[in-house]
Structure 1
Amino acid sequence: MNQIEGVILDWAGTAVDFGCFAPVNVFVDIFKHAGIEVTMEEARGPMGMLKIDHIRAMLSLPRVSSLWEEKYGRAFNEEDVKKLYAEFEPALMASLSEYTNPIPGVIDTVEVLRSKGLKIGSTTGYTRSMMEVVISGAKAKGYGPDHVVTPDDTDSYGRPYPYMIYRNMEQLKLSAAWKVVKVGDTTSDIKEGVQAGVWSVGVAVGSSEMGLNEEEYQALSKSEKEAAIAKTKQVFMQHGADFTIETMTELPSLIERINRLLAEGRRPGCVK
Structure 2
Amino acid sequence: MRHLDNHVKAVIFDWGGTLVDYGCMAPVEVFIEIFNRKGIEITLKEAREPMGLEKMDHIRTILNMNRINNMWVEKYNRQPDEQDIHELYGTFEPILLEKLPQYSEPVPGAINSVNHLKKLGIKIGTTTGYNRKMMEVVAPIADKKGLKVDSIVTSDEVPKGRPHPWMCYQNAINLQVYPMSQLVKVGDTVNDIIEGINAGMWTVGIIKGGSELGLSEDQIKNVESVQLNESIKSVERKFYEAGADFVIEDINELTDVIDRINDMIETENLQLNKK
TM-score, scaled relative to structure 1: 0.95
Which amino acid is the alignment partner of residue 113 of structure 2?
T
Which amino acid is the alignment partner of residue 193 of structure 1?
G
Match of 1:121 in 2: 125
Report whether the alignment pairs 1:240 with 2:263. Answer: no
**How far did 1:198 drift?**
0.1
Match of 2:178 in 1: 175
- Structure 2 residue corresponding to 1:112, chosen from 111, 116, 128: 116
Match of 1:228 in 2: 231
Match of 1:208 in 2: 211
1:11-90 to structure 2, matched below 5 A, reads 11-90=15-94
Which amino acid is the alignment partner of residue 152 of structure 2?
V
Q: What do the CA deviations read for 1:61-118 (whole angstroms, capped 9, x no partner)?
A: 1111111000000111001001100000001011111000000011111111111110
Match of 1:159 in 2: 162
**How far did 1:210 drift?**
0.3
Q: Secondary structure at the match of 1:149?
A: strand
Structure with higher Rg: it is 2
| Separation in structure 2 between the aligned mates of residue 31 and residue 61 of structure 1, nearest angstrom | 13
Structure 1: stretches of 5+ with no match in the other structure: 267-272
| Separation in structure 2 between the aligned mates of residue 197 and residue 175 of structure 1, nearest angstrom | 11
**How far did 1:230 drift?**
1.4
**How far did 1:58 drift?**
0.3
**How far did 1:227 drift?**
2.2
Which amino acid is the alignment partner of residue 38 of structure 1?
I
| Separation in structure 2 between the aligned mates of residue 109 and residue 223 of structure 1, nearest angstrom | 28
Report whether the alignment pairs 1:258 with 2:269. Answer: no
**How far did 1:222 drift?**
3.6
Match of 1:269 in 2: none
Q: Secondary structure at the match of 1:231?
A: helix
**How far did 1:220 drift?**
2.5
| Separation in structure 1 between the aligned mates of residue 8 and residue 128 of structure 2, nearest angstrom | 21
Report whether the alignment pairs 1:93 with 2:94. Answer: no
Structure 2: stretches of 5+ with no match in the other structure: 270-275
Q: Secondary structure at the match of 1:7?
A: strand
Superposed CA RMSD in Å reads 1.0
